[in-house]
Chains A and B, each alone.
Chain A
Amino acid sequence: MVGIMNPVSREKLESLSSSVKFAIDLGSKLELCRQLKHDLLEEDAADLSEFLPRIFDLYSDPSGPVRKFATEIIGEIGVKHLEFVPEIAPFLITVLEDATPAVARQSIACSIDLFRHTLEQIAIRGLYSSELDSDLESSWSWMLKLKEKIYSIAFQPGSGGIRLVALKFVEAVILLYTPNPNGSLEPPPNEGTSIEFNITWLRGGHPLLNVGDLSIEASQRLVLLLDQLRFPTVKSLTTSVIVVIINSLSAIAKKRPAYYGRILPVLLSLDPPSFVIKGVHVYGAHHALKNALLSCLKCTHPSAAPWRERILGALKEMKAGGLADLALNQVHKINGSVEEEKDDSLLIKEEKPLTKAYDAAGSNVGRKRSGTEGSSDLAEKDEVSGKRVKATPSVSEESTKELNRNITVSQGDISSTQSSTRKVDVDTGPVQQLVGMFGALVAQGEKAVGSLGILISNISADLLAEVVMANMCNLPPTHPHTDTDDELLEDMCIVGSDTQAKYPPSFLADVISLSSTFPPIASMLNSQQSVPNKIVKTEGEEEVDVVADPNSALAYAGMAHEDENALLATDLPVSSNIVLPGMKIDPPTPSDIHDTGNLESGIPGLDSSFRNDGLSDTQAASSLVSTDIEDASQEQATSFGGKSPLHVRPSISIDRSEELSPKAAVTDSSSMVSSTATSVVSSCPFVLPKMSAPVVNLSEDQKDDVQKLAFVRIVEAYKQIAVAGGSQVRSSLLAYLGVELPSELELQKVLREHILSDYINHEGHELTLRVLYRLFGKAEDESDFLSCTTAASAYETFLLAVAETLRDSFPPSDKSLSKLLGEAPRLPKSVLNLLGCLCSPGISEKAEESQSGDRVTQGLSTVWSLILLRPPIRDVCLKIALQSAVHHLEEVRMKAIRLVANKLYPLQSIAQQIEEFAREMLLSVVNVDATERTGAEGLISESHKDSDLEKSSNEHQSMSSISKDISADVHQSETSHSGSSPSVPEAQRCMSLYFALCTKKHSLFGQIFIIYGSASKEVKQAIHRHIPILVRTMGLSSDLLEIISDPPSGSENLLMQVLQTLTEGTVPSAELIFTIKKLFDSKLKDVEILVPVLPFLPGDEVLLLFPHLVNLPLDKFQAVLTRLLQGSAHSGPVLTPAEVLIAIHGIVPERDGIPLKKVTDACNACFEQRHIFTQQVLAKVERIPLPLLFMRTVLQAIGAFPALVEFIMEILSRLVSKQIWQNPKLWVGFLKCALLTKPQSFSVLLQLPPPQLENALNRTAALKAPLVAHASQQNIRNSLPRSMLAVLGLAPDTQSSSQAQTSQAHTGDTSNSEKDAAVTEKSKESSSAI
């Protein structure tokens, strides 16, 4: 065909291919390639032939993905246009060598496609002509070359990842070269229809291909593949290669059953332990082998049959414990069930016989009712029909398909059941054995009572409960009859039946003593006797006779039917036996009749549920048996060897179909029995119209109701058990029932009500725990989401309900709640919340009752015990306690703080976390504060916090996050109500815990000093409130000393309070005094800190400090004064009042830098204490040199003690002799004093030398007149010298003017200086005021 290439498209392609070449980044290259591929595949062959080299050219691209893409394009072109094969095949061969594995793999992927198409075309062409054109022949030869090349890769050791694909290629070729038994035998009538190629299309005389040769080659390749898995080659393979080979082989075996016999021996001889290849990873290969074997097991081809036994054996070995067998049994069992049931299988297969039984019963009964005509209804039938179909050589395609469908269904289930069956296997194993043991012992009668007791005492209550439940299905169906016999006996019998099941000896005793009816035991023994039989049968499965035995249904339907038979057999005598004593003992009374009426509603339900159990078990058991039979038949088949399995098979299948009918009959009749049982109740126990009563199918709801009723009855019966004792074991059983029955929620509610109705007498704690453990076990055990989530949810509901009731109905002092929470397997969040509410009332609950305080104690002590007992939830519990420790109610808070500080903080493991939290809270108070006031301060404390956190964050990351959580909560709450800085109570709330910790660990105290500076007024106030108690509790420790020795700036007030507290009432230690002195000397110049220890300092030191002391604010000075004068109790006063006064007067303001005002204030302070600073004291102050303030002191003294005038006069006159006027300041004071003390002072004034007198009078004019008057008195005037009189103006004196002048000058001086003094004083005053 000559096509004219469309210029546009050609151009386009060219530009595309060149742009691919020159595109820069990989992404755009690939995008262009994609476009190119799309366009190319549109083109026809002629155009492409020109273009092909260009595409080959693309392969020279350096990037792997582009090369891979190019290969892919070329491969597709090849498939579409086979005429290019001679060009493309060599290309692909070169690509196989590509350095990039992905490209090489692509080449193989293209090759198989190309190979398949070429083969197909050649095959079909050859069908219609004896000659093929040379092109095709050369294509084929190229393909063969390509194939050989890939083979060499596949079988060449160590060719890496590409080998996996090459091996797959080998598999594909083998499949192509061999006839597909399921494929179409004829080629499609017209080319192009998509029927899978089958080599059987080839007939003899094909010019190129010979079926025989091809299959020889295929089997050679197969041998090569198999050889790979043989020892020792297998040792050198990687796991991935082994996995691929195993998968390929199993695929070949499945698709080409002819090879089954060659492949399986190799697979079977692959020894799993030898899979430790190069010491690595064997699971993959192991698992692949297992799957391969399982899939081979599914093969229904006749050639597969002989291998079944061996495969089963191998699988058994691989799964170590016959799991394969079980899984297979499951397969067969489920095989028959309808597909929807698949989902239920998980439910069914849980290790609870009753549940299982019940569920199975639901579906099985239903199925039975619906009739057995459906081919998939019964496992056996299906199997059989399938087998029969297989055996016949003329296989109709439809039936095979159907069969396949069935089988796939069942296979899907194999895997789905594996996980659960495993469990079942583990759990029911010992249980079944125990059931057998019990059965055997009971069968021996009373002599075995002792050994039974021993057996029972040696197994756990939980296991015993399982044994009881497992044995439930062995109970005779007539047992409930006893209930109807008489009303009195009814409960006894239930009690008895429980005991009997698990406690045979006590049952014997019970029943004998209670009702003195032996027949029930007989019936029980009967039923028990069937148990050992059953066990024997199950264990010796092989013994089950396959040969048709008309003797009884037993042989066909297996032990379950035997069981039924036993039941049937015992049925009549037992019921009559029971009825008789019942008659004898208790003649019907009116009440009895009434009760039977009641029972009519209850007991039928009970009965039918029992019946259902029995039935379902029958069903399960029979299916088991049937598979056993099948196995056995298999064995038989194999034992017949190659002879003719086909021959045996039909006969077996006949047997089976016979099997079915008697079984159906048996089950039917037995269900009739059950229904008669129910009907009997209502009518009359004597009449047993077995054959007439219909079987009633209950709806799901009805079943639930019935189950619930039954359970309620059991629970009621348990209330009486309490008296009988042994409830330990029994509670296990009750828990089992409550949890495992399908309508679990309802029952759990009933159980809960039972527990809570009388927690103590009903062994509520034990029972609750058992229920919880069961639920917990389910939640943990179940691997599937559904059941574990449901169980977890049920667990939570149960625990929460019990815990709430315990909290609400028991007094706070009761320990039940604590005990329950301590022992429950897991505490879900909701329960912890409950605990949290208990410890921190008001968090979520509305109103608290009056006894909330006690409740808090209860909660806290529970938390404490949980912290001690349950390390995994320690953090959460601690969080609860801490939350409570910052509670807004002080009562709650203090309780929690006591717990945390006294009990929890000493625990090494959590101390750090507690500390962290407390610090967090402490800082929160300051930080809220700081951020609102100044950012800078906040930053400082923040950074401090960070460093603190860093210290501990490594070990206690979790805790710090917890504390952050809480503190964040707290922050929110507090910002919500206060807005700005926290109030005093709020600050206390946050800080109390920290203070409490400080008493335990003194070094923590330092933090308070650090935050103090930046704290708000309220916070400081809160701190100050705490300090006295805190410090007194702490006492002086080295830690505290250290803190004191270096207090952070801003904490002076706090330090003062601490020191005060420390020195209050006790003698401070030398270290303390030393530390304080050192602090005063070095860092803190404030003398205030010395005040608390002043009484304990030596007097001379105090005197040295005195100027500083005087410089204190007045109130503080007064306090100092008191301290000094009182001293300590031990050492007496430090200074005498006189010493104090002298010290005050010894201060020189200029020298000491103390404002004069301060000194005067100090003096004032002294004189206020008149009883201390007495006359005598004052007298001692007068010495030389005169203190600056002396006159002032004198003046004050006069004010204070008017009686002192005489004494003062003495002083004044002494001052005159000391030439007081020399000191201008004192002189002023002297004159003031004189003025104040006139007229007594006149005599002193007159002692002054005349110039001084003149000066004095000039200054204090007020003095002059009275003095003159005084001097004018004759006796005085006479004693005065003339000069004096002249000054007084009493004698005319010429010199007086000059005197006056000098004195004027003099006084001018003094007045000046006086003014100065006043000024400086004033300025000092003002400065001190500032």
Chain B
Amino acid sequence: MKFRYAMVCSSNQNRSMEAHSLLKKQGFDVSSYGTGAHVKLPGPSLREPNVYEFGTPYKHMFDDLRRKDPELYKRNGILPMLKRNLSVKLAPQRWQDNAADGCFDIVFTFEEKVFDMVLEDLHNRDQVLLKSVLVINLEVKDNHEEAAIGARIALDLCEQIEAVESWEDSIDDIMVSFENKHRRKLLYSISFY
């Protein structure tokens, strides 16, 4: 695997972790992040979400929610999701604080808002290395089912990108063929480290 990948969504729980988990299984060099201010998980009602700081271990959230209302969180799929997540990595990470993690070659986002935030963040960094990074947005609705589908599509795309020598030369072709294949609109941008 020659490229380093990052999967980014807002809370680093559902979509990015689904993709992270899948790509990791396939042997990709992958990380995942969220761009939100906090990690928010659904609570008993819309007004009572469970809010955690980035860096709070998934295990902690899992235990916390299981203590609060195992029925509810099992039914709405949060506990299974956290369980999956804690098998992938320790805790959710925030994109904006990831400078120490080095350069990524490909960044996947799953929502336009996140895409914009990643780009903005990259533009705000000192772009001195002149190392290009491809940021791709694949719009995925934020629920469990769609996340699973989105992760598979992302994997497919990653495999296609891996297959070429340098994405800089062939990204347009990859995108076109991908869009034709999956009938999904992609958005991409190129930024630099």
Which residues of A does B touch, CB under 8 Å? 100-102, 105, 108-109, 112-113, 116, 160-162, 164-165, 168-169, 172, 238-240, 243-244, 247, 251, 280-281, 283-284, 287-288, 291, 295, 342-343, 347, 411-412, 415-416, 418-419, 742-745, 779, 782-794, 796, 830
Contact = CB atoms under 8 A, between A and B. Distances in A.
A796 B119 CA distance: 38
A168 B45 contact: no
A411 B120 CA distance: 10
Nearest to B50: A786
Given A343-B36, A743-B45, A790-B46, 10 more contacts: A105-B166, A161-B166, A240-B171, A283-B185, A291-B120, A784-B142, A786-B46, A789-B77, A789-B78, A830-B75
Given A161-B168, A280-B172, A784-B10, A243 B179 contact: no
B70 to A, nearest CB: 14
A793 B50 CA distance: 15
B187 A283 contact: yes
A789 B76 contact: yes
A819 B75 CA distance: 25
Contacts of A243: 188-190
Given A240-B190, A793-B76, A161 B46 contact: no
Contacts of A287: 112, 187, 189
B172 A786 contact: no
Nearest to A239: B172
A116 B126 CA distance: 14
Contact of B72 (A165, A291, A787, A793): A793
Contacts of B142: 782-785, 788
Contacts of B176: 280-281
Contact of B191 (A247, A415, A793, A830): A247
Report, nearest first, the 4 A-B pairs whose CB atoms are least far apart.
A161-B168, A785-B142, A161-B169, A789-B42
Contacts of B10: 784-785
Contacts of A283: 185-187
Given A109-B129, A168-B127, A244-B190, A415 B45 contact: no
A101 B165 contact: yes
Given A281-B176, A283-B186, A169 B130 contact: yes
A102 B168 CA distance: 9
19 contacts: A101-B169, A109-B129, A109-B130, A168-B130, A239-B171, A243-B190, A284-B189, A412-B117, A412-B120, A415-B120, A419-B111, A742-B46, A742-B47, A785-B11, A785-B14, A785-B40, A785-B42, A786-B46, A792-B143
Contacts of B190: 164, 240, 243-244, 247
Contacts of A295: 120, 123
B35 to A, nearest CB: 9
Given A745-B45, A789-B78, A160 B168 contact: yes
Contacts of A162: 168
Interface string B152-193: 000000000000011111111001100100000111111110
Contacts of B165: 100-102
A1040 B116 CA distance: 70
A717 B123 CA distance: 57
Contacts of A244: 190
Interface string B3-25: 00000001101100000000000
Contacts of A794: 45
B68 interface: no
Contacts of B72: 793
Contacts of B168: 101, 105, 160-162, 164-165, 240
A790 B77 CA distance: 11
From DSSP, what is the main secondary structure of chain A's interface residues?
Answer: helix
Nearest to B167: A161
A788 B130 contact: no
Nearest to B142: A785
Contact of B189 (A113, A161, A247, A744): A247
B143 A788 contact: yes
B54 to A, nearest CB: 14
Contacts of B76: 789-790, 792-793
B42 A342 contact: no
A793 B75 contact: yes
Contacts of B113: 415-416, 418-419
Given A785-B142, A786-B40, A284 B13 contact: no
A172 B38 CA distance: 34
Contacts of B132: 105, 164-165, 168
Interface of B: 10-11, 13-14, 36-38, 40-47, 49, 72, 75-78, 111-113, 116-117, 119-120, 123, 127-132, 141-143, 165-172, 175-176, 179, 185-192
A342 B36 CA distance: 10
Contacts of B179: 281
A74 B151 CA distance: 40
Contacts of A783: 111, 141-142
A783 B172 CA distance: 28
Contacts of B40: 343, 785-786
B38 A284 contact: no
Nearest to B14: A785
Contacts of B47: 347, 742-744
A102 B166 contact: yes
Nearest to B126: A196
A1154 B77 CA distance: 77
Contacts of A101: 165-166, 168-169
Contacts of B186: 281, 283-284
Given A102-B166, A161-B167, A786 B112 contact: no
A27 to B, nearest CB: 13
A743 B75 CA distance: 21
Contacts of B11: 785
A416 B115 CA distance: 11
A435 B130 CA distance: 55
B130 A108 contact: yes
B116 A291 contact: yes
A98 to B, nearest CB: 12
Nearest to B45: A745
Contacts of A745: 44-45
A419 B49 CA distance: 20
Contacts of A284: 175, 186-189
Contacts of A291: 116, 119-120, 189
A247 B38 contact: no
Q: Which of A108, A280, A342, A744 has the most CB of B within 10 A?
A: A280
A773 B182 CA distance: 30
Contacts of A411: 120
A165 B130 contact: yes
Q: Which of A239, A284, A792 has the most CB of B within 10 A?
A: A284
A102 B130 CA distance: 12
Contacts of A784: 10, 142
A744 B45 contact: yes
Contacts of A830: 75
Contacts of B44: 745
A162 B75 CA distance: 51
A793 B171 contact: no
B41 A786 contact: yes
B127 A793 contact: no
A790 B45 contact: yes
A281 B172 contact: yes
Contact of B46 (A168, A419, A744): A744
A1255 B192 CA distance: 131
A280 B168 CA distance: 16
Nearest to A166: B130
A796 B76 CA distance: 9
B187 A786 contact: no
A365 to B, nearest CB: 17
B123 A415 contact: no
Contacts of A112: 128, 130
A291 B14 CA distance: 26
Contact of A343 (B38, B170, B192): B38
Nearest to A342: B37
A343 B10 CA distance: 12
